[in-house]
Structure 1
Amino acid sequence: MLKPNNSWTWYYDSKHDSLMLDLGDDMIFRVSIPPKHLITSAYDRTDFTVDDASVFQTFVESIAGLDLSEPRKAELALNAVAASRFHKPMMPKSWFFHTQGEGCEPQEADIVTLETDAGMAKFLVIENSGCASLCMLAETSSLALTSTKSMAFCDTIKVMNDRMQAYVVESSVNLALVG
């Protein structure tokens, strides 16, 4: 997994019309957030801060149990940091998702599941703003929202918390019988 350092730099690349993160050693990460969803400070060159590194570590620890390759985990964590710092506020679009009884009260970096008519998927919570949360799709397969609209890996959406269920990592326990 990537280790953040003080040479990392956020910048906007107008040629690629995208927010980028210069990781040094000739490595550039292209953020998946569309330009229309970026706040104005995303267009300024800024350092990857100690706060960014802390948020990155929080996301890395949270997604460790997901069934994703290490490069995909790094991509998800970096996009999540970018979203937590540079994503514009947005209105919830909860109508795509089924209500889940009591729902849940997610915290930053929690993994939750959301269900549409087409299926269920895991999401990473970027931020909770009270009754709704900004979430990022944490699965490599796309999720159909309607017959004509879908979400791809690392796409964001704001959803009311009553549509979410806490994701529980299933782990097998190997027991040895002695005696």
Structure 2
Amino acid sequence: MLIQPNKQWHWVFDSNKGVMTLELGPNMLFVSKLCKKRCVQHAQEDSPFTAEHTQLYYQFLEQLESFNWSDPIKVQICLNAVASAQFLKPLMPQSWFFKSIATSSQNLLELGSLAVLQTEHSQTRCVVVEVSEQTYTLMAIEAGMVLDERKTLNQFEAIKVMQDRVASLSQLLQDQNGFAQTG
């Protein structure tokens, strides 16, 4: 069962744990993966879960409908994505970790779109939590991806990259299905 946002939800920064939390009601607390060093300053003030947050929640949720993941996993992804979209500090691009994606037509992704980042050795699925003219900020929705000998992209961690490093998950799946049918 998917939980539905309501007017009682509100954001609270847990200074003891150093993370953003979302109070969902009496005795219900969602603990995000967004830590203090990655939060904008105003994130440390209690704030309501607004209509904008609700819209983002459903926008992210809609993108996950086709996956056979459990409802609690989908909710966890969506709430972490909303937290990142609303409270993440601006990041510097770190595109050098990822392969450039050669596509016949560079489709611009929208907020909430599912995407794939690829290194030389692996790939991970992500959700777009911010769009700018030349970059995307993505939140990893899968377990850690090794970027180099010192850095890992952990589940629910955000990274900013140039748009040419990001493949649309739907386009990638279409290309693979087309290749499988013609190959």
TM superposition score normalised by structure 1 = 0.89
Q: For 1:92 and 1:71, how far apart are their aligned partners in 2? A: 31
Residue 120 (structure 1) aligned to one of 120, 123, 132: 123
- Residues 47-66 of structure 1: per-residue CA shift (max 9 Å, x gap): 11111111100001012223
- Residues 111-167 of structure 1: per-residue CA shift (max 9 Å, x gap): 11110122011110011111101101122x321111332122111100110001111
Q: 2:142 aligned with 1:132, yes or no? A: no
Q: 2:63 aligned with 1:52, yes or no? A: no
Q: For 1:111 and 1:17, how far apart are their aligned partners in 2? A: 28
Q: For 2:26 and 2:5, how far apart are their aligned partners in 1? A: 13
Q: For 1:152 and 1:69, how far apart are their aligned partners in 2? A: 20
Residue 108 (structure 1) aligned to one of 106, 111, 124: 111
Structure 2 unpaired stretches of 5+ = 178-183
Q: For 1:90 and 1:142, how far apart are their aligned partners in 2? A: 19
Q: For 2:66 and 2:77, how far apart are their aligned partners in 1? A: 13
- Residues 24-64 of structure 1: per-residue CA shift (max 9 Å, x gap): 03111111112111111101111111111111000010122
1:25 aligned residue: 26
1:73 aligned residue: 74
- Residues 82-102 of structure 1: per-residue CA shift (max 9 Å, x gap): 111111111110011000124
Runs of 4+ in 1 over 4 A off after TM superposition: none
Q: 2:180 aligned with 1:154, yes or no? A: no
Q: Secondary structure at the match of 1:58?
A: helix
Q: Secondary structure at the match of 1:98?
A: coil
CA contact (8 A) 1:39 1:87 kept: yes
Q: For 2:96 and 2:108, how far apart are their aligned partners in 1? A: 19
**1:138 partner letter:** I
Please report the RMSD computed on the Cα atoms of aligned residues, expressed in angstroms.
1.6
CA contact (8 A) 1:104 1:164 kept: no
- Residues 68-110 of structure 1: per-residue CA shift (max 9 Å, x gap): 3221111110011111111111111001100012454111011
Superposition pairs for residues 89-100 of structure 1, below 5 Å? 89-100=90-101
How far 1:67 sits from its partner (Å)? 4.4
TM superposition score normalised by structure 2 = 0.87
**2:84 partner letter:** A
Structure 1 unpaired stretches of 5+ = 173-179
**1:127 partner letter:** E
